[in-house]
Amino acid sequence: MKLDAKIPQGPLAEKWTNYRSSVPLVNPANKRNLEIIVVGTGLAGASAAATLAELGYKVKAFCFQDSPRRAHSIAAQGGINAAKNYQNDGDSTHRLFYDTIKGGDFRAREGNVYRLAEVSANIIDQCVAQGVPFAREYGGTLSNRSFGGTQVQRTFYAAGQTGQQLLLGAYSGLERQVGIGNVKMYSRHEMIELVVIDGKARGIIARDLVTGKLERHFGHAVLLCTGGYGNVFYLSTNAMGSNVTAAWKAHKKGAFFGNPCFTQIHPTCIPVSGHYQSKLTLMSESLRNDGRIWVPKKQGDNRHPNDIPEEERDYYLERRYPAFGNLVPRDIASRAAKERCDAGYGVGSSKMAVYLDFRYNMVNKYGRAEASKKGIENPSEDVLVALGREVVKEKYGNLFDMYKQITDEDPYEVPMRIYPAVHYTMGGLWVDYELQTTVPGLYALGEANFSDHGANRLGASALMQGLADGYFVIPYTIGNYLSKEIHTKAISTDHEAFVAAEKAASDRINQLMKIQGNKSVESYHRALGLIMWDKCGMARNEKGLNEAIQEIRALREDFYKNVRVPGKIEEFNPELDKAGRVADFLELGELMCLDALNRNESCGGHFREEYQTEEGEAMRDDDKYAYVAAWEFANDSWNMHKEELHFENIKVQQRSYK
């Protein structure tokens, strides 16, 4: 099958404008007869459902939480990128486009990324109009801060809770449409099967998570906005319920999976504290904007961090990458932290952490600035720290409070201890320029698709992509498909395809319930996560990946012999829900390892130990691997298809932040 990305013709800066001017439209009267299913109600799903309903389509929205307000989008902390150049520091649409392509190590499409940069400014205007309380400067203008991989300040933020505030904005728009009857909301419902009729997505099978009953739902089109699959690693920064099930069921019905091995490791997470820990907590990357990362220069130095003098501290990111310093992209910062810890310079009881220190900036940046404003001459260091603390608290206070609650250490007084952890997935369902998968009528938005971030996502770009897809892309692109569906009447859910899909879903559930082994679902998830982290995590190699594939297959075989799912089917049964999700992770994990094994290069978050420079940097192979790996599931195995990447507007070169 030849993959057609459907990138419009013409100059890069005019592609999206020309597309919008020529794409077929659906008139308002016909929109009222077209039904759209939206699965997932985070930023991408809520914005898409609200916007499509506003346009007049009939929308059904499904979320497995009790409310869209609990979507994992609320966990995003640091900010959202937009090329508005408020700081007048040289930013532009093209610079945001270039930073994103470079940050993704030249493994993303030019057309999609430029469109993302182009519509970014509109997102800010939309959210301000909704009342999102972005931080502002004293004069009232919106404030910006820096993020990794850039040399400009383009990140808009709301303290350390940007995702929550943006989601509340999208949620308010969604609930308005629910209230006036344009959106029918199904909370506590999980999609567990895709219905395909005559080669087109025509609905879903959903499970009511309260009663356990299966339901059939028709739609002229289906939008998957279900987030990423980072929880395949068990320990991650994702909410514990985050899963791959909806996307995986679509994959097994014909939707290709793009670049599954491209997973992102976030450099600023609170380190693992114990074997039975089930969740990791993120400290926003925005902290690297004002904090400094370091380790002791002496191996095994056990002194209290405040007792280690300045000259005995190794600010290793500033030393290795002077042009960007602490603001290098996430993949580089994560590998650098791992290298220092592996070399014996780690801190804390586990020695698997580095310091993120704010005291320097509280004293030398904010403290002196505040002292000057207040007219204090020759202030002591204690006064400077106190003055600086107030500014830091205003910008990052909730993050500092969260850190103290978890670690019982005050980050105003001692440096934070951080270590990399699984965070985001750049891979996802393959989509074209219109966000349509290889199954006609099935779309994937936000983190559920692979399209915009290449091999590494820059910080503050996840919120940008989710809202761009929902507010400004899908309302146009879905018209190209639905304009040809206006004569299609609603298909009865008694259709044989619905019956077969429900039976397949029911059979899987019954299979899990009948095993009645002696091992918990959680134990299998933890075992899978350990395999994935050790052999397909921050670093991979051929030997480890081959071992991981065999170990995952053996674990999956044992799962279907010995897992125990308590309770009953037709009742509230979170263990049964979890079992289905872990079963999907056990298949996805194998595909991720196959993809990583196939890509004999290092790029972004995919770091093969065999392919690195003498300085330990990623070594790409553009001649052989400048493509998207799109995996097709057929006959119980996977076939890889290639979408070649072509760079006509930027020069592909070895990535450098020095």
- The DSSP letter of residue 141 is P
Query: Are the beta carbons of 481 and 57 closer than 8 angstroms?
Result: no
Helices 474-482 & 43-55, crossing angle to 10 degrees? 60
Cα 283 to Cα 399: distance, rounded to the nearest angstrom: 7
What tokens appear for 211 in the block? 């009663």
H-helix segments, 23-83:
28-31, 43-55
Cα 415 to Cα 291: distance, rounded to the nearest angstrom: 9
**Is beta strand 58-63 parallel, antiparallel or unpaired with respect to 183-187?**
parallel
The residue among 249, 242, 256 whose CA lies nearest residue 193 is: 249
Residue 155 makes CB contacts below 8 A (sequence gap 6+) with 78, 79, 80, 81, 144, 145, 146, 147, 286, 459, 460
Cα 264 to Cα 404: distance, rounded to the nearest angstrom: 26
What tokens appear for 657 in the block? 């932040």
What single letter denotes the amino acid at residue 333? A
Dihedral pair phi/psi, residue 272, rounded to 5°: -60, 135
Opening angle at CA 401, ends 172 and 361, nearest 5:
110
- The DSSP letter of residue 178 is H
Helices 574-598 & 496-515, crossing angle to 10 degrees? 100
Query: Are the beta carbons of 301 and 308 closer than 8 angstroms?
Result: yes
Query: Are the beta carbons of 157 and 394 closer than 8 angstroms?
Result: no
Residue 330 catalytic?
A: yes
What single letter denotes the amino acid at residue 603? C
**The 200-208 sheet, strands edge to edge:** 189-197, 200-208, 214-218
The residue among 198, 209, 204 whose CA lies nearest residue 221 is: 204
What tokens appear for 429 in the block? 């369902």
What tokens appear for 374 in the block? 């207040």
What tokens appear for 125 in the block? 């205007």
H-helix segments, 365-417:
368-373, 381-407
Opening angle at CA 521, ends 515 and 527, nearest 5:
120
Cα 348 to Cα 271: distance, rounded to the nearest angstrom: 9
Cα 372 to Cα 370: distance, rounded to the nearest angstrom: 5
What stretch of H or E contains 553? helix 542-562
Cα 74 to Cα 574: distance, rounded to the nearest angstrom: 22
DSSP assignment string, 450-472: -SS-TTSPPTT-HHHHHHIIIII
Query: Are the beta carbons of 137 and 143 closer than 8 angstroms?
Result: yes
The residue among 149, 145, 151 whose CA lies nearest residue 328 is: 149
Instruction: Find the catalytic residue in 207, 313, 330, 620.
Output: 330
CA 130 to each of CA 127, 134, 410, 582: distance values in angstroms, whole numbers, following the listed order: 5, 11, 35, 38
Give catalytic residue positions. 330
